[in-house]
Structure 1
Amino acid sequence: MNLTKAENTIVFQHNHLIRTQMKMGQTEARVFVEALRCIHQSNDELPPIRIHVDAILHGERGGSAYANLKQACRDLFDKELNLEPVEGGNKKGSFILTRIVSDISLDTGTGYVTGNFAPLIKPYLLQLTKAGNFTSADIETLLTLKTPNAQRFYWLLKSYQYGKHEYEPTLESLKYILFNDEFIYPVFADFKRYVLEPIMKEFTSKEVGFMVVWNPIKTGRKVTSIHFEIPKADTLVARQLSLGLNPEIKPPTNTVVPTSKDASSTDKAATILNSLRKKWDFASWQLAIVKNAIGADEVKYTKLRDTMSAVNADWDKLENPPAVLWARLKKEFTQVKKACDAYDKA
Structure 2
Amino acid sequence: MKPQACISNAVIRENQPVMTVTEARLFVACLRAVTLSAGELQEIRVRMVPDVISSYSGQAYSLVRDAIESLKGRKYEAAGGESLFATLEIEDQTGDVVGAWNPAVREHLTDYKANDVTYTTLDWQDKRFKNAHTYRLLWLLKSYQSLHTPKVWKVEELRLAILNDLTTYPNLADFRRGLLDKVCAELGYGYETKKRGKRVTGIVFKALPVRNPAQVAIDFKEPVVTPKKTQKEAPGKTLEIGAEWSDSDKPIVAQKCSVLQKRGLTVPQVMQILSWCGGSVAKFDKVTKAAHGAYCETQTNGGITNVAAYIVARIKKDCPGIF
Output the TM-score relative to the length of structure 2: 0.58
2:206 is matched with 229
Tell me by how many angstroms 1:42 deviates.
7.7
User: Unaligned stretches of 5+ in structure 1?
Assistant: 1-5, 86-95, 205-211, 233-346
Distance change (3 Å), C-alpha of 1:40 and 1:104: closer
Q: Which amino acid is the alignment partner of residue 206 of structure 2? A: E
Tell me by how many angstroms 1:125 deviates.
0.7
User: Which of 9, 26, 30 lines up with 2:3 in the alignment?
Assistant: 9
Q: Which amino acid is the alignment partner of residue 34 of structure 1? A: A
Distance change (3 Å), C-alpha of 1:156 and 1:231: farther
Residue 98 of structure 2 is aligned to residue 121 of structure 1:
no
User: Unaligned stretches of 5+ in structure 2?
Assistant: 210-323
User: Which of 161, 164, 168 lines up with 1:177 in the alignment?
Assistant: 161
Structure 1 counterpart SS, 2:65: helix
Q: Could you give the per-residue CA deviations for residues 271-297 of structure 1, whole angstroms, max 9, x where no partner exists?
A: xxxxxxxxxxxxxxxxxxxxxxxxxxx
Q: 8 Å contact 1:41–1:129 — kept in the other structure?
A: no
User: Which of 15, 29, 32 lines up with 2:27 in the alignment?
Assistant: 32
- Within 5 A, what are the aligned runs for 1:273-292? none
Q: Which amino acid is the alignment partner of residue 47 of structure 1? A: Q
1:194 is matched with 178
Distance change (3 Å), C-alpha of 1:230 and 1:163: farther
Distance change (3 Å), C-alpha of 1:190 and 1:38: same
2:55 is matched with 60
Q: In structure 2, how many angstroms separate the alpha carbons of the residues matched to 1:70 and 1:199?
A: 26
User: Which of 56, 61, 69 lines up with 1:74 in the alignment?
Assistant: 69
Distance change (3 Å), C-alpha of 1:64 and 1:196: same
Aligned alpha-carbon RMSD (Å): 2.5
Q: 8 Å contact 1:12–1:128 — kept in the other structure?
A: no
- Within 5 A, what are the aligned runs for 1:164-313? 164-204=148-188, 212-219=189-196, 221-229=198-206
Q: In structure 1, how many angstroms separate the alpha carbons of the residues matched to 2:122 and 2:177?
A: 26
Q: In structure 1, how many angstroms separate the alpha carbons of the residues matched to 2:144 and 2:37?
A: 24
Q: Could you give the per-residue CA deviations for residues 263-316 of structure 1, whole angstroms, max 9, x where no partner exists?
A: xxxxxxxxxxxxxxxxxxxxxxxxxxxxxxxxxxxxxxxxxxxxxxxxxxxxxx
Q: 8 Å contact 1:38–1:50 — kept in the other structure?
A: yes
Distance change (3 Å), C-alpha of 1:196 and 1:70: same
How many residues align? The count is 207
Residue 154 of structure 2 is aligned to residue 160 of structure 1:
no
**Share of identical aligned residues, percent?**
28
Output the TM-score relative to the length of structure 1: 0.54
Tell me by how many angstroms 1:165 deviates.
4.8
